[in-house]
Amino acid sequence: MIKQSITMLVLGVALAFTSNANAQEFSGLDKSPADIAIFRVERDAPPMVKVIYGRPMLKGRVVGEELATFGKVWRTGANEATEIKFYEDVLLGGSEIPAGTYSLFTIPGKDQWTVIINADTDIWGAYNYDPAKDVARIDVPAKQGENSLEAFSITFEPTDEGANMLMGWDKLRVAVPIKPAQ
């Protein structure tokens, strides 16, 4: 009898905690989930570059007006400033960037984006962006794609000399050339 009572008590407590845990809501989850884009020259090669960024959604808003405002410094994603890590010295456009971790900012435009590599890291958004800490700035053309992307996205496409870092949102597309500095 005592053994059955203890078993019932243990089952009752376990059930109470399980029900409570299952009923709880997750709060504070990002509405713009984090993503990582990484480029390797070959599948088993060491990485050349990695980007960690938040993926904001359009949700009916307009890029250039309500999101990634044209002419203003943008964190190139959501939440924390986008982080870019170069595993080797690279040429970004024509600018040499030493291996290391940086923030990636952009100044979006309808026909051109300015891509900014900045020495500040681990900062929220672009609110404390300091142009004195820019390592490089390059201008790249902005083009229109055929399909709309709901989430801001970054990926890489291999080229003969390295890779293009592709950024896209809605129908806007930007390609940033990256190649080894050697």
Q: Which two tokens stand for residue 119?
A: 């020495």
Check residue 125 and give its pLDDT. 87
Calculate mean pLDDT across residues 133-156.
Answer: 96
| DSSP, residue by residue, 101-141 | EEEEEEE--SSEEEEEEES--S-BTTTT--GGGEEEEEEEE
Domain around 163? 27-180
> In this structure, is residue 13 part of a structural domain?
no
> In this structure, is residue 16 part of a structural domain?
no
> In this structure, is residue 101 part of a structural domain?
yes
Name the phi and psi angles at 147, rounded to 5.
-105, 145
Q: Of the candidates 69, 48, 62, 177, which has an alpha carbon nearest to the alpha carbon of residue 125?
A: 69
Q: Is the pLDDT of residue 117 over 90?
A: yes
Check residue 56 and give its pLDDT. 95
Give how many domains the chain has, as a whole number. Answer: 1
Q: Is the pLDDT of residue 11 over 60?
A: no
> In this structure, is residue 138 part of a structural domain?
yes
Q: Which two tokens stand for residue 53?
A: 């960024």
Stated pTM of the model:
0.83
Q: Is the pLDDT of residue 5 over 60?
A: no
Mean of the per-residue pLDDT values for the chain? Answer: 89
Alpha carbons 28 and 40: distance in angstroms, whole number: 34
Calculate mean pLDDT across residues 110-129.
Answer: 94
Answer yes or no: are the C-beta atoms of 55 and 35 closer than 8 Å: yes
> In this structure, is residue 14 part of a structural domain?
no
> In this structure, is residue 158 part of a structural domain?
yes
Please tell me the total number of residues recorded for the chain in this structure. 182
